[in-house]
Amino acid sequence: MKRFCFAMLLLSGTGMYAQTQKDSINIIDELVITENRFSTPVSKQNRNVYVIDNATIKKLPGHTLNEILQYANGVDLRQRGPMGSQADISIDGGSFEQTVVLLNGAKIIDSQTAHNMLNLPIPAEVIERIEIIRGPAARIYGINSLTGAINIITKKPQQSGVLLSAYAGSNFEKNTEGNGDTFFSDGVQAGGTIAKEKHQHSIFASHDKSNGYRYNTGFENNKLFYQGNVQVNPNNEILGSFGYVKNGFGANGFYASPGDKNSAEIVQTTFATLQSKHRLNEKWSLTPRVSYRYNFDDYRYFGNGNLTSGRSKHYTNSVAGELNSTYKMDRSELGFGAEVRNEDINSTSIGEHNRNNMGVYVEYRTFAIKRMNLNVGAYLNYNSDYKWQVYPGLDAGYALTDAFKVIASLGTSQRIPSFTDLYLDQRPGNIGNPTLKSENAFQGETGFKYNRGAFNFNATYFYRDISNFIDWTRSVSTDPWQSHNFGNLVTNGINLRSGYKANVSAEGKINISLAYSFLNSEFKNTQTDLASKYLISSLKHQITNTIDYQYRNFTVLFATRFNERATGASYWVNDFRLSQTLNKFVVFVDAQNIFNATYYEAGAIPLPSRWFTAGVKFVTF
């Protein structure tokens, strides 16, 4: 398997580079990674950073954040249901609790459980790019960025206009266990933008509905998102956003199979962020930020018929404030900042709990040595439950030529247990453990980046050791699952990624990306007689590949995903999209899982068979 993957990457790299044309367009250098204190072009990044840009997002066969992320190299998206019903996300073999998600730098942390992390109303139309930062990132993003971070950057509207869209889809199979109806999905979306010289606004609302793809997997999602940008003057800007989503779905087999065949769940999320950017002078800039997130999770083991038993309701709130600053000097920059966070929960199965977190950041970046840049920093954290901890890190890069750069990094990070990990009491199914220690990670990484003309190629190797790894375990099948510090998880990994962009004719363009990841994870200092709930399905091999061709206003994209998990289970999933722009209309046809693969991403939950979707958009911006 490994020889096959390396051969694919080698052939794609040599063959594509040989075809490079002088008029090819390489846009990756134009992208700037917007960390909380430093902004760095991708070509100068010392970390393993993967960017899904707006041009790619438009072409992918899907319209939700979950569907976009499933094509990201190194990202393991374990869906329990399609189109955003419920999904866990992790990076490079970590657990779904070890990745932090951010919106324009503001952390979206669900202190109840990361199962709800991606319950977000952010439409694909407002996403400028998605930055995936791999490896421990505490010195940049603070708590819970144990194995990486995903930062969603939204657009600032460039012109005023409206968007109206509708779609419908089906696998043309019937619900033989239920009412016999054909499985289907449909949805509508409406939105608009206002772009003025001093202020810009975006607002979008959508409604998606489906009767599922197998018994009791239907869903209904309602989403609302607003963003506003205001330029007070050339040195001061304000950015605010608000989102609301109500997501109800059948949860057949999601958490307690086979007894939960008729279970249902409703998750409501509200969030708001307000931040500003201030350039105090030529050297000093300041960025304050406040954010709020409310989540309501209503799980019904017996579905909607019996609401007097087997029901769990969770109410969580998190309020955070953050202040970041950058001071520029000759050939160097100093970044520093502080954050505070309060989290509370009121739950029928977890109880009432409250905790506070405070962190302080310090970073220093220098370009004093020609062709080399060095970043060093630390994050000092205080948590009301886990007291003081410090997490240093550094990275360096050296450009051997204009096209070839070697990189290396050392990083540390931590993950504070969720309220579910600590206090859940759903006997006989799952019980928490209030004596849990926080997880800690150390990672070293080295590699190189090659970027010339229309071709780019990245290769990295990393070693990571997570101590006090938290998993849900049990010794016999009749016992409840309980959270434990399971030991040390040591992971070695290789990541290869290549891309090619070219104009193949006066009006035709081709884009090819191909990536491969290999992970080898091993537990140390553990009890060998315990069964693990989550680690057993971590990835070992992953291939992601997209090929798209655009001729004038017509685009065709073919996407392939291959996953082989630690258990040996493997699957290929192939999707494609056809789209045609006609004046202000965009017509598209998607086919997902076109070869009808049978596959599982979370537990024993089969995901949809071949699914076809057709839709139309009316866009004036």
CA-nearest of 376, 368, 367, 414 to 394 is 376
Contact 324, 287 (CB under 8 A): yes
3-state secondary structure of 223: strand
Torsion of CA 426, 432, 434, 437, to 10 degrees: -170
Number of other residues whose CB lies within 10 A of the CB of residue 447: 18
pLDDT at 23 over 70: no
Cα separation of 75 and 91, whole Å?
5
User: Strand order in 99-103's β-sheet?
Assistant: 49-53, 127-134, 148-154, 99-103, 106-108
Contact 66, 78 (CB under 8 A): no
8 — pLDDT class (breaks 50, 70, 90) = very low
pLDDT at 64 over 50: yes
Stated as kind and residue range, the H or E segment containing 1 is none
Q: What angle do CA 311, 313, 315 make, to 5 degrees?
A: 175
Query: The dihedral of CA 377, 383, 386, 387: what is its sign?
Result: positive
Cα separation of 420 and 434, whole Å?
10
Query: What's the confidence (pLDDT) of residue 15?
Result: 38
3-state secondary structure of 77: strand
Q: What is the mean pLDDT of residues 394-412?
A: 95
Contact 257, 226 (CB under 8 A): no
State the SS3 of 358-377.
EEEEEEEEECCCCCEEEEEE
573: β partners:
561
Q: Provide the b/e sequence for 163-187 (b: ≥16 CB within 10 Å).
A: bebebebbbeeebeeeeeeebbbeb
DSSP 84-103: TTEEEEEETT--TTSEEEEE
The 10s digit of each residue's pLDDT in 422-472 is 999 988 888 999 999 999 999 999 999 999 989 999 999 999 999 999 988
Cα separation of 363 and 466, whole Å?
24
Q: What is the mean pLDDT of residues 22-27?
A: 34
Contact 315, 279 (CB under 8 A): no
Cα separation of 105 and 89, whole Å?
18
Q: Provide the b/e sequence for 595-604 (b: ≥16 CB within 10 Å).
A: eeeebbbbbe
542: β partners:
517, 563
279 — pLDDT class (breaks 50, 70, 90) = very high
Tell me which of 33 and 99 has the higher pLDDT: 99
Tell me which of 335 and 9 has the higher pLDDT: 335
Superfamily assignment of 2-619 in CATH?
Answer: TonB-dependent receptor, beta-barrel domain (2.40.170.20)
Give the rounded distance of the alpha carbon of 3 from its chain centre. 29
Query: What's the confidence (pLDDT) of residue 534?
Result: 67
Domain ranges of the chain: 2-619
Q: Which two tokens stand for residue 464?
A: 């990571």
Q: Provide the b/e sequence for 263-279 (b: ≥16 CB within 10 Å).
A: bbbbbbbbbbbbbbbee
Burial of 398 (0-12, 13-18, 19+ CB in 10 A): middle
3 — pLDDT class (breaks 50, 70, 90) = very low
57 — pLDDT class (breaks 50, 70, 90) = very high
Pairing of strands 439-452, 387-399: unpaired
Q: Which two tokens stand for residue 281?
A: 């002078």
DSSP 241-284: EEEEEEEEEE-TTSSSTTTTTT-EEEEEEEEEEEEEEEE-SSSE
191 — pLDDT class (breaks 50, 70, 90) = very high
391 — pLDDT class (breaks 50, 70, 90) = very high
Number of other residues whose CB lies within 10 A of the CB of residue 384: 12
pLDDT at 569 over 90: no
For the chain, what percent of residues have pLDDT higher than 90? 72
pLDDT at 2 over 60: no
Q: Which two tokens stand for residue 442?
A: 């150390």
Distance in Å from the first CA to the final CA of the chain: 46
Task: Give me Rg for the CA atoms of the chain.
Answer: 24
Query: What's the confidence (pLDDT) of residue 341?
Result: 96
Give the rounded distance of the alpha carbon of 415 from its chain centre. 17
Stated as kind and residue range, the H or E segment containing 313 is strand 311-329
Cα separation of 443 and 409, whole Å?
8
For the chain, what percent of residues have pLDDT higher than 70? 94
